[in-house]
Amino acid sequence: MLDDIYNQKILEFAGNIARLQRLEQPQASAKAHSKLCGSTIEVDLVVTDGKVSDYGQTVNACALGQAASSVVGRQIIGSDLAELRQLRETMRAMLKEEGAPPAGKWEDLQYLEPVRNYPARHASTLLVFDAVVDAFEQIEPAS
């Protein structure tokens, strides 16, 4: 059963997390923690002209949280707040409402789609998206 969610792509992403370091001088930092499984992700952001220009993270999570963080670390540079909010909502909908997986530069997140059948794993999978939006909103508060 769990082989569905711990597929080869997820394990590859989890084993190769991009931007796995904290930034020396971030504009904002945020931490997301799952009480259910104990996973924690911390992110640092620098935003220039409304887009992410530097990013760092520490990831103490299961393979699912690691895989999501890996994809985010690879693709986040150049993203704006609206895109990251939409990505968070797309991921939430994919897992909780049988929504479609993200497309375009975020299409690798489709490999997390089988997680929808394991509600106890949703929290760790979504941590990075919550942390990224939280950090970005510290720089550009919601309007």
What per-residue confidence (pLDDT) applies to 2? 57
Binning pLDDT at 50, 70 and 90, where does residue 57 land? very high
Mean pLDDT on 123-129: 96
**How is the beta sheet containing 40-48 ordered, strand by strand?**
28-33, 40-48, 51-60
Mean pLDDT on 127-141: 95
Mean pLDDT on 19-39: 94
What residues have CB less than 8 Å from 101, skipping those under 6 apart? 90, 94, 107, 109, 110, 112, 113
Full-model pTM: 0.93
Binning pLDDT at 50, 70 and 90, where does residue 142 land? low
What per-residue confidence (pLDDT) applies to 138? 95
